[in-house]
Amino acid sequence: MVENEANRANFEELIGHVQVLKARLESNIKQDAPASQSQYDDLFDYYERAVKDRVMRNATLTEELNETHAKLDQHKRRFEVLRLSVVLAIIIMVFVVGIMAFPSETKFVVASPYCTHFAMIVVGIGLSALFKRRRVKQD
């Protein structure tokens, strides 16, 4: 988040007041003139307000950083699901292309129980990825 002009102007105004009062107090000390209590109070007040302004800015940036980290984690989980889906799609495509390219040689593979087990495993992994994706969306 870029700091808006109003916040920056408020902070610069407060720092300006602090610098002016600091200069007045230093000149009073050099001239051995007593500084008024109101000058000390004003200096403390402006300084305190400037610090509070920076604390609020820091809290805002921290909250935005936490939100960004949460979004990043969500995108990482979605990417993992997408990557798994792509890998599974490639495996299935290679398997199907192999069967279509060599139908007579793969006739026994399609009829074998291993093919059924492989298909069940691929479907199971795909379904678990989809359910995981739905859980991510609910979070």
Give the start-to-end residue ranges of the domains of the chain.
5-138
Q: What percent of the chain has pLDDT over 90?
A: 9
3-state per-residue secondary structure call for the chain: CCCCHHHHHHHHHHHHHHHHHHHHHHHHHHCCCCCCHHHHHHHHHHHHHHHHHHHHHHHHHHHHHHHHHHHHHHHHHHHHHHHHHHHHHHHHHHHHHHHHHCCCCCHHHHHCHHHHHHHHHHHHHHHHHHHHHHHHHHC
In this prediction, residue 118 carries a pLDDT of 75
- Higher-confidence residue of 57 and 112: namely 57
In this prediction, residue 132 carries a pLDDT of 67
In this prediction, residue 35 carries a pLDDT of 66
